Amino acid sequence: MAYRIVPLRLAEVFLQQASPDVQQKIQELLNEISNNPFVDMKTKFYFPAPPVMFTICRAEGFWIVYYLEESSSSLKIINIGYAKQKPTIREP
């Protein structure tokens, strides 16, 4: 089952500012994540942000922080960034 992808504000800002090539690569990653969003300890890891736990996917030179909302079958994308940047869930 593929989960519905819902970019939140920080992720939307990243996507709006990204080049078409980057947008396409991110979309491919999001499609892969939506088919299997669960931690695998290879590219998807726990991302603790007390008092909650999110998931981070590191692949293809990017990181994507997200959480799964089972009640709406959606994947909430909190933030996206380049691998060289420190992952964050807060405003810069």
Tell me: the pLDDT tens digits for 12-50? 999 999 999 999 999 999 999 999 999 999 999 999 998
Note the pLDDT tens digit of each residue in 72-81. 999 999 999 9
Contacts of residue 83, defined as CB under 8 A and 6 or more positions apart, other chains included, come to: 58, 61, 62, 63
For residue 91, is it within any domain? no
What is the distance of C-alpha 68 from the center of its chain? 10
89 within some domain: no
Residue 70 lies in a domain: yes
Domain holding 13: CATH number? 3.30.2310.20
DSSP 3-state of 70: helix
Domain of residue 70 covers: 4-38+45-82
The model scores a pTM over 0.85:
yes
Number of domains in the chain: 1
